[in-house]
């Protein structure tokens, strides 16, 4: 059984809803402390109200794209406030289904900022040995789109493929510091991000129905725990066998 103690502190981005919220709640239930990061402070307070051990949830509201180059310093500041981190689940992200004819450079850049550059620069901060415990673990939520892109995902699929490949590269670089780095790539999960269009496309595709946030959170928390101490540089697809 996976168990943490409150001295094991994890950064969870995107903790205000969906997959990030589920990861934060599960880590908390299993005894860990969570620094919950997202823009909507009210939703982070709601997260704390739902938590089994609310005093172990620390709220940090922030737009992770407002100054991406400053993110390593942000991680350092969080470490000075809370202590060395046991790891991070980077669950913040954005995505829309859009055909190439509507491609807009600014919107593409914005999507790359939150889905790709923000996790890279948060990891740069965490990778500094002064900021993490030995045997720490990082999990980034990528997407099935990063491996099996479908129409309308020209930008989103690019952000997630780039993330998966970069995490693969840095996993080797960071193993000497004791950090494990993995991705989890879900397909359709019932969250605010799963639009009606996606659900229509998914009709009949998933033998066990559309995924639930806990289906992803269980895998993420396993990878963050020492039960996964021999697992790094992987991308785990959770797609109900659909792709
Ligand atoms: N749902 C799916 O079907 C699915 C499938 C594959 C992959 N994914 C991936 O899973 C991850 C989580 O998505 P979700 O489905 O849980 O969607 P969600 O419920 O919409 O959650 C997205 C989270 O990202 C945070 N976020 C977005 N922009 C941010 C920013 N600039 N700064 C800080 N936080 C920001 C949001 O918080 P605030 O708005 O409060 O900032 C929210 O907590 C994403 O990377 C997504 O690409 C989802």
**What homologous superfamily does CATH list for 9-238?**
NAD(P)-binding Rossmann-like Domain (3.40.50.720)
Q: What is the mean pLDDT of residues 216-238?
A: 98
The pLDDT tens digits of the residues spanning 68-84 come to 999 999 999 999 999 99
Q: What 3-state DSSP class applies to 153?
A: strand
Q: Which of 92, 96, 144 to mutate to test the pocket of ligand 1 (most atoms within 8 A of CB)?
A: 92
Cα separation, 210 vs 162, in Å, equals 25
Q: Kind and range of the H or E element at 122?
A: helix 118-127
Ligand 1 center to 206 CA (angstroms):
22
User: How far away, in angstroms, is 224 Cα from ligand 1 center?
Assistant: 19
**Which pLDDT does position 80 carry in this prediction?**
98
Report which of 124, 133, 136 is spatially closest to residue 167, judged by C-alpha positions. 124
CA 25 vs CA 48, 53, 91: distances in Å: 9, 9, 13
Q: Which residues of 69-99 are buried (b: 16+ CB within 10 A; e: fewer)?
A: eebbebbeebbeeeebbbbbbbbbbebeebe
**What residues does 11 pair with on adjacent strands?**
35, 88
Residue 218: exposed, middle, or buried by beta-carbon count in 10 A (0-12, 13-18, 19+)?
A: middle
Cβ pair 169, 191 in contact under 8 A: no
> pLDDT tier at 168 (50, 70, 90 boundaries)?
very high
Radius of gyration from C-alpha coordinates of the chain: 17
Taking the domains of the chain in order of start, what are their residue ranges?
9-238
Residue 47 Cα to ligand 1 middle (Å): 15
* Inter-residue contact 211 to 160 (CB < 8 Å): no
Mean pLDDT to the nearest integer, 146-173: 97
Answer whether 18 contacts ligand 1 (Cβ < 6 A): yes
Separation CA 156–CA 145 (nearest Å): 7
Q: Which residue has the higher pLDDT, 64 or 198?
A: 64
> To the nearest whole percent, how much of the chain has pLDDT over 90?
94
β-strand 132-141 against 57-61: which pairing, if any?
unpaired
39 Cβ inside 6 Å of ligand 1: yes
Interatomic CA distance for residues 86 and 132, integer angstroms: 6
Determine the Cα angle at 186 with ends 182 and 191, to 5°.
Answer: 120
Q: Whose CA is nearest to atom 7 of ligand 1?
A: 143
pLDDT at 132: 98
Which atom of ligand 1 is found nearest the CA of 65?
31
Q: Is the pLDDT of residue 203 over 90?
A: no
The CA–CA distances, whole Å, from 12 to 121, 154, 200, 205 equal 15, 27, 30, 30
How many angstroms is it from 160 CA to the middle of ligand 1? 13
Give the Å distance between the CA of 23 and the centre of ligand 1: 12
Residue 91 Cβ < 6 Å to ligand 1: yes
pLDDT averaged over every residue in the chain = 97
Shortest-distance Cα residue to atom 42 of ligand 1? 14
Q: Residue 103: beta bridge partners?
A: none
Least confident of 49-63, 191-205, 222-236: 191-205
Q: Per residue, what are the HEC states of 173-184?
A: HHHHHCCEEEEE
- On the question of pLDDT at 197 being above 80, the answer is no
Task: Tell whether ligand 1 has an atom less than 6 A from the beta carbon of residue 194.
Answer: yes
């Amino acid at each position: 059984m996976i168990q943490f103690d409150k001295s094991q502190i994890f950064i969870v981005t995107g903790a205000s809803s969906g997959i990030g919220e589920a990861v934060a709640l599960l880590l908390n239930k299993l005894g860990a402390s969570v620094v919950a990061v997202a823009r909507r402070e009210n939703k982070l307070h709601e997260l704390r109200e739902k938590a089994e051990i609310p005093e172990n949830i620390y709220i940090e509201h922030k737009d992770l794209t407002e100054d991406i180059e400053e993110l390593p310093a942000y991680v350092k500041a969080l470490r000075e406030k809370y202590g060395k981190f046991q790891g991070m689940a980077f669950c913040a992200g954005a995505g829309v289904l859009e055909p190439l004819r509507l491609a807009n450079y600014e919107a593409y850049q914005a999507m790359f900022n939150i889905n790709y550059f923000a996790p890279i620069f948060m990891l740069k901060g965490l990778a500094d040995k002064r900021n993490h415990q030995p045997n720490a673990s990082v999990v980034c939520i990528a997407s099935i789109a990063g491996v099996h892109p479908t129409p309308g995902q020209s930008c989103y699929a690019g952000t997630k493929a780039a993330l998966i490949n970069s995490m693969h590269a840095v996993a080797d670089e960071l193993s000497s510091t004791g950090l494990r780095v993995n991705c989890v790539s879900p397909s359709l999960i019932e969250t605010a991000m799963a639009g009606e269009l996606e659900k229509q496309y998914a009709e009949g595709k998933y033998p066990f129905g559309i995924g639930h946030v806990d289906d992803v959170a269980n895998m993420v928390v396993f990878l963050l725990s020492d039960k996964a101490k021999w697992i790094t540089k992987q991308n785990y697809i959770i797609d109900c066998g659909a792709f």
